[in-house]
Amino acid sequence: MKSLASLSVCLLVLGLCSGCGNSDGRVEVTGEVTFDGKPLEDGNITFGGPQGAAGAGKIVNGKFSLSESGDEDGVQPGSYDVLISSWFEERGSVRPDGSFSPGSTRIPLSYLDPKNSGLKAEVKSGEKNEFKFELKSDAK
């Protein structure tokens, strides 16, 4: 009787764990972002395609990580345009003089435009997906 109970518990645990993990094929994507040769302090990175964003995350001290098991989901394998933003003054924020900010970015807005960013990534299943994006202040 005791072994039947143990077997039942084992089957229950296996059944619950079969739903664990990542079932949609997303993989971890990591890397770094520099701006004029220095790590980008903070920002956001988006891997997107014709259907919209496939994965997005935060850039902190020049590093990003989109992990299939973390808070910021991984990315499904495929070819992506990469969009990067970094704002030092949020749109609508109140300045010390009481005026409202139209929003100011640390980096050129072209890095937010899929047609002009020039940033691409090929995410592959079963491989280490680590990317380095080097942004320049004179980008158009």
Domain presence at residue 15: no
Question: Nearest 5°: CA angle at 115, between 57 and 130?
Answer: 40
For 61, how many CA atoms within 13 A lie in the half-sphere containing its CB? 0
Q: Hey, is 9 helix, strand or coil?
A: helix
CATH label of the domain that carries residue 107 = 2.60.40.1120
Domain presence at residue 99: yes
d(CA 81, CA 5): 53
| pLDDT of 23 strictly over 60 | no
The predicted model gives 61-74 an average pLDDT of 80
Domain presence at residue 110: yes
At 8, is the pLDDT very low, low, confident or very high (cuts 50, 70, 90)?
Answer: very low
Q: Give the count of domains, the chain.
A: 1
3 phi-psi bin (left φ>0, alpha ψ -120 to 50, beta other): alpha
Residue-wise pLDDT for 32-50, tens only, equals 999 999 999 999 999 997 7
Question: In the beta sheet, which residues pair with residue 79?
Answer: 122
